[in-house]
Amino acid sequence: MYDTQKDLLDALRASPTVFEALLHDCTQEQAQTARGGDEGWSVVEVVCHLRDAEERALERTRAMRDQLNPFIAGYDQEVWARERDYASANLGEALAAFLQFRAERTDELAGLDDGDWERTGQHEELGRITISGQTAHMLSHDFAHAAQIARQLAV
């Protein structure tokens, strides 16, 4: 039988290594000029997006853990990219912040009881979500953006 929580935690712990390896030799100039994906974002913009998505996932996890079926607001990633000036961000700082948010969320998830993983929230756009579902979604999000960065830097 699969241990879904362990598998999710293992993947959450592994994905930062993938991003660190992908970005190891990436210069700030490359990070700002290598563009791709549906958004046409540069690598640094993608990393800022990952950072902010991880921060939001941490907030959502805490809300679902601590409240009974809380409202989970959506957000406009394009607005955040402009307002937070992703294009001018420092790659190393953005990556470090992503790694910090990921470590915090992983630690908090590791402390959950089995039943807590199925605690719910009402997402503004998606309807009912669970902590486990959000975690699986964010891992898929990681993988999609890791592949995007790999393509952008391979050019």
Parts of the chain with a pLDDT under 70: 155
Dump pLDDT digits (tens) for 55-89: 999 999 999 999 999 999 999 999 999 999 999 99
Rounded distance, CA 123 to CA 107, Å? 23
Query: Cβ contacts of residue 28 below 8 Å, gap of 6+?
Result: 44, 90, 91, 92
C-beta atoms surrounding 104 within 10 Å: 15
Q: 């990921």: which residue's tokens?
A: 102
**Spatial CA neighbour of 22 closest among 30, 13, 10, 33:** 30
- DSSP reduced 3-state for 97: helix
Give me the pLDDT at residue 38, please.
80
Give me the pLDDT at residue 155, please.
61
All structural domains of the chain, each given as residue ranges with its CATH number in brackets, are 4-154 (1.20.120.450)
Q: What is the pTM of this model?
A: 0.95
- Token pair for 112: 């959950």
Rounded distance, CA 104 to CA 74, Å? 21
The overall longest dimension of the chain from CA atoms, in Å, is 47
Give me the pLDDT at residue 36, please.
84
**Spatial CA neighbour of 134 closest among 38, 58, 52:** 58
